[in-house]
Chains A and B, each alone.
Chain A
Amino acid sequence: MSADFSFKSTYAPAPVRRYNVGDKVTVKRAFPPGHRRTPQYIRGKQGVIERICGAYPNPEELAYGFDGKPEKVLYRVRFAQSHVWPGYAGPANDVIEMEVYEHWLEPVKG
């Protein structure tokens, strides 16, 4: 394959967003039907915004043939393993991180 050195990343930093890196958030504890990219095991858990991935067409709409607009802001959220899994066997500083769309997040006060 010939290299395309003019390539620019499509990374969109999502200037209009609700959260910033370091903000504490809770994943909504909701169980709507349909195609959801938020794993069940993380719903209701509290974490910290690790990075902002950009804004992307909403996969919950794309899955059913819609255009996914308006785009949703996607974050990576870091969770303490000991918080996600009561009885987690590893050390307290182990973490799990995943991508969560903005409409699945709620702010944590304080």
Chain B
Amino acid sequence: MTNPTHDYYARSHHDHDHAHDHDHDDHKVPNPANEHDNGPPGEYEIMSRAMQELLEQKGLITAEQVAKRMEQFDEEFPYRGAQIVARAWTDPAYKQRLLDDGRAACAEAGVMLEAERLIAVENTPAVHNVIVCTLCSCYPRSLLGMPPTWYKSRNYRSRVVFEPRTVLREFGTVLPDSVTVRVHDSNADMRYLVVPMRPAGTDGWSIERLAGLISRDMLVGVTVPKLPA
């Protein structure tokens, strides 16, 4: 994913043209919350960092507590999308319910979503779907867990809308021109799930075995499931 010509962070590091007067030498440990961001920090991010540093200096919180809390987020939002999609692969009626009303279908499987609506979009031999949130990083966390680093990057968010095929190729997903690429900008109240195509040669597989083929990235649409070679 890291292409220096598109990587603002790489350039700003070389030029050191930060748009703020923040003394980086004060940082003993880089803030892990900012690892994902390859643009200059925004006003709120700077305020948030400053607040954390102040609270640490006053001895009210420790960096370890902050790191621990971030780990807890991962535990609170486990990745459960594979089970849902594997069930849809084995049960056409369930798949239809998932496509009709994703939130209700997830609830039926015991996954309660925080978003008002989940829109499930199905990959077919004619259409490939890919999800992005250009405005921030909207993501169905209660279904897919915490969003991956690349999903929140400025690189992905800015490029996948206007050169989706190039970005997909960088993920190893090469699509012929006969396949329509359908980009979904998750820009307001809906959340999205890509239902990938079930690979050939998996007839008779159990839901558990099928779920083992399904990674998080496939449910955002940047990769597709394949049988192990």
Which residues of A are at the interface with B, using a C-beta cutoff of 8 A?
1-5, 7-11, 37-39, 41-42, 53-54, 56, 59, 74, 76, 81, 84-85, 88-91, 93-101
A95 adjacent to B165 (CB under 8 Å): no
Q: How far is the CA of A81 from the CA of B108 in the complex (A)?
A: 36
Which residues of B does A touch, CB under 8 Å?
Answer: 101, 103-104, 107-112, 116-117, 119, 134-135, 161-166, 177-178, 180-190
Given A10-B103, A10-B116, A90-B165, residue A99 in contact with residue B187 (CB < 8 A) = yes
B184 pairs with A98, CB closer than 8 A:
yes
Q: Are B189 and A95 in contact (CB under 8 A)?
A: no
How many angstroms from the CA of A76 to the CA of B166 in the assembled complex? 25
Total of A-B residue pairs, C-beta within 8 Å: 108
- How far, in whole Å, are A4 and B182 apart by their CA atoms in the complex? 33
Complex Cα gap A88–B163 (Å): 7
Inter-chain CA distance A9–B101, complex, in Å, is: 7
Given the interface pairs A90-B181, A91-B180, the reply to whether A74 lies near B164 with Cβ below 8 Å is no
A41 vs B104: C-alpha distance in the bound complex, in angstroms? Answer: 32
Given contacts A39-B187, A98-B185, contact A54 B117 (CB under 8 A): yes
In the complex, which residues of chain B have a beta carbon less than 8 angstroms from the beta carbon of A93?
180
Give Cα distance in the complex from A100 to B188, angstroms: 8
| A41 and B190 form a contact (CB under 8 A) | no
- Bound complex: CA A7 to CA B164 (Å): 36
Is A7 within 8 A of B104, CB to CB? Answer: yes
Bound-complex Cα distance A54 to B190 (A): 10
Considering residues B111, B117, B134, B188, which has the most beta carbons from chain A within 10 angstroms of its beta carbon?
A: B188
Q: List 29 A-B contacts (CB under 8 A).
A: A1-B112, A4-B107, A4-B112, A7-B107, A9-B107, A10-B116, A11-B104, A11-B116, A11-B117, A37-B135, A39-B134, A39-B185, A39-B187, A41-B134, A53-B117, A59-B189, A74-B188, A85-B162, A90-B164, A90-B165, A90-B177, A91-B177, A91-B178, A95-B183, A97-B185, A98-B187, A98-B188, A99-B186, A100-B188
Of B104, B109, B189, which one neighbours A56 at CB under 8 angstroms?
A: B189
* Residues from chain B with Cβ under 8 Å of A74 in the complex: 188-190
The answer for the CA separation of A39 and B116 in the assembled complex, in Å, is 21
- The answer to whether A39 and B135 touch across the interface, beta carbons within 8 angstroms, is yes
B112 to chain A, nearest CB (A): 7
Chain A residues whose C-beta falls within 8 Å of the C-beta of B108 in the assembled complex:
3, 5, 7
Question: Are B190 and A99 in contact (CB-based, < 8 A)?
Answer: yes
Contacts of B112 in A (CB 8 A): 1, 4, 7
Q: Tell me how far the C-beta of A74 lies from the nearest C-beta in chain B, rounded to whole angstroms.
A: 6
A11–B178 CA distance with the chains assembled, in angstroms: 34
